[in-house]
Amino acid sequence: MIQTVFSTLFQVVVPLSIPVIVGALLKRYRNLDTKALTMLYLYFLSPAIILETLTTAEISYDDVYMTIAFCLLNLLLLWIAAQASGKILKLPSPETAGLTLISCLTNSVNYGLPLVLLAFGKLGLDKASVYVVIQMIIVNTIGVYFAARSQFSVKNALKSVFSLPAIYTAILAVLLRTFNLHLPVGVQTGVAMVAGAYSPVVLTILGAQMVGVNNAELEQKVQTGFWMGVTIRLLVSPLIACFGLYLLNIKGILYSVLFILSSMPVAVNAVVLAERFDASPKLVSKCILWTTLASFIILPVLIAVVK
């Protein structure tokens, strides 16, 4: 077991950490501006890897249905855990909203996809593609609702979802597969080439974002929320994921991939929602920092367990 953990650490986490460290160093010493890179990631690299993966993925309709069912069940259970924790700890409304974002939104896109690719190969990436598309939709709809129920607008949430080109490429990929069509060879090669640049760029962005995350001292109530958020995201969420996977009778490589993706640290874009809707952004940003750092130790253990 220990040998497997160290093997996973060196084969998966070390390669991932190189672009993360480079991004952090560039931000710290060269004040790297990630806005242009983020635009590149959102509007070019992310659609490319989703189109490439979904059009070539070895995934069945059963996998799709099971992934959708798991995402919804897991989201419901995490929401219940966050709401119950907020009530037990008597957290104010903004901290409860922040705790809900921490519990439910995971960094499955710019950290999870490269991790799955290295840990489980192309087949794992195929299985992860549907989960990632669903998470993009959840962040821009239910995530907005969690952050600001009083200011929530279904129209604006849907507009936010359909402002992302990744959604359109996912629809295009589904249509191509449904009608057994293929992209022209030259186009497919170009898309694959762009998709290959996804991992190093998004991990560099992640490293730069980590340097900018606020690690300020927190008030007592917020500090309590922080420890509960870390506990839910790092310890409770893997247990909830296991329970959901067991209920749905999901097995094999799909089990492993969904388990790891649902055990990822807090999504970086959770703090964007927290700042926009005053859902305790200091709490959320500190949880992003520490759950991401802790994940470099915890995830190799979890990967070793499911392998």
Residues near 265 by Cβ (< 8 Å), separated by ≥ 6? Answer: 106, 107, 111, 233, 234, 288, 291, 292, 294, 295
In a domain, 251, yes or no: yes
What is residue 214's predicted lDDT score, i.e. its pLDDT? 63
What is residue 155's predicted lDDT score, i.e. its pLDDT? 73
Residues near 62 by Cβ (< 8 Å), separated by ≥ 6? Answer: none
What is residue 228's predicted lDDT score, i.e. its pLDDT? 96
User: What pTM, to 2 d.p., does this model score?
Assistant: 0.87
In a domain, 214, yes or no: no
What is residue 157's predicted lDDT score, i.e. its pLDDT? 66
pLDDT digits (tens, 9 = 90+) for 16-49: 999 999 999 999 999 998 888 888 888 899 899 8
What is residue 152's predicted lDDT score, i.e. its pLDDT? 67
Structure letter (DSSP) for residue 197: T
What is residue 43's predicted lDDT score, i.e. its pLDDT? 87
Low-confidence ranges of the chain (pLDDT < 70): 1, 149-152, 154, 157-158, 160, 214-217
Structure letter (DSSP) for residue 234: I
C-alpha 45/C-alpha 197 separation (Å) is 7
In a domain, 145, yes or no: yes
- Give the CA dihedral 226, 217, 266, 227, nearest 10 degrees: -20
The domain total for the chain is 1
What is residue 244's predicted lDDT score, i.e. its pLDDT? 97
What is residue 258's predicted lDDT score, i.e. its pLDDT? 97
What domain range is 243 assigned to?
2-26+34-207+221-306
What is residue 149's predicted lDDT score, i.e. its pLDDT? 66
In a domain, 137, yes or no: yes
What is residue 159's predicted lDDT score, i.e. its pLDDT? 73
C-alpha 186/C-alpha 179 separation (Å) is 20
What is residue 170's predicted lDDT score, i.e. its pLDDT? 87
What is residue 151's predicted lDDT score, i.e. its pLDDT? 64
In a domain, 215, yes or no: no
In a domain, 216, yes or no: no
In a domain, 213, yes or no: no
In a domain, 130, yes or no: yes
Q: What's the CATH code of the domain at 141?
A: 1.20.1530.20
**Residue 107 contacts residue 292 (beta carbons within 8 Å):** yes
Q: At which residue do the structure tokens 């490293």 appear? A: 207
Residues near 222 by Cβ (< 8 Å), separated by ≥ 6? Answer: 95, 280, 282, 283
Is the Cα torsion angle 45, 288, 10, 256 positive or negative in sign?
negative
